Structure 1
C-alpha cells in the first residue's frame, strides 16, 4: 500500500495536469470559470486553496467526453482521475470541509 503522502502527491500531479488541460482549452476554461466563479487572473491564487484541485477533477469527471479527452491527451488512465479525487482534500468525506 502506498503511503498517504505519495498518494496525495500523485493526486495533486493528476489535478495539476487537469488544470493545465482545462486552462489550455478555449471552450472548457470559460465554462470552468463560470461554474467556479473564479476569475482567470485568480486561478494561481485559487489553486493554493484547499479543495481547488479536487474541484478541477470534479469538473473533468462531470463530463465523460471531457474526461476521455483529458485521459487521451495526457496518458492518464480514467480510473486514476477518480482515485486522485478521493486522495485530495474535499475530494471525499474523509477530509475536513470548510464551511
Structure 2
C-alpha cells in the first residue's frame, strides 16, 4: 500500500499537532513537562531533527488526545502514525 503522505504533508500535520497542543494551556504544559522543554526553548527545539516526530509521539501516546486531534481535522487517526514514521523513520521492530 502506497503511503498517503509525503514528507511535507507529515511536517505540516506535525505543525498542526503542535498548534493543537498550544491552543490549550493544559495540553501544552503536559507536552512541555513530558519533553523537558520550557516555553523559552520550545522555538529552538522546534528546529531540531526529531522534534516534529516527538510532537506526533505525544499526540499518539494518548488515545483521547489522538482522537480529539484527528476528529478536529476530520482525519483517520492512523494518519498520525504514518506521519510520525515518515518524520522519524521506521521503528526497529518494523524490520522484523
Same fold (TM over 0.5): yes
Deviation string 1:6-28 (CA, Å, 9 cap, x unpaired) is 71111101100000001111211
User: Which shifted more, 53-62 or 74-83?
Assistant: 74-83
**Structure 1 stretches of 5 or more lacking a match?**
95-99
Q: Distance in 2 between matches of 1:92 and 1:41?
A: 31
Map of 1:35 onto structure 2:
34
Question: CA-atom RMSD, angstroms?
Answer: 1.7
TM-score (norm 2): 0.84
Mapped partners of 2:68, 2:26: distance in 1: 13
On the 8 A contact 1:85/1:92 being kept in 2, the answer is no
Alignment of 1:1-99 (within 5 A): 1=2, 7-89=6-88, 91-93=89-91
- When structure 1 is superposed on structure 2, of 37-46 and 57-66 the one drifting more is 37-46
Where do 5+ consecutive residues of structure 2 fail to align?
none
Output the TM-score relative to the length of structure 1: 0.82
Range with greater deviation from structure 2 (21-30 or 79-88): 21-30
When residues 9 and 66 of structure 1 are mapped into structure 2, their CA distance, relative to the original with a 3 A threshold, is same
Change (3 A) 1:41 1:76: farther
Deviates more, 1:26-35 or 1:58-67: 26-35
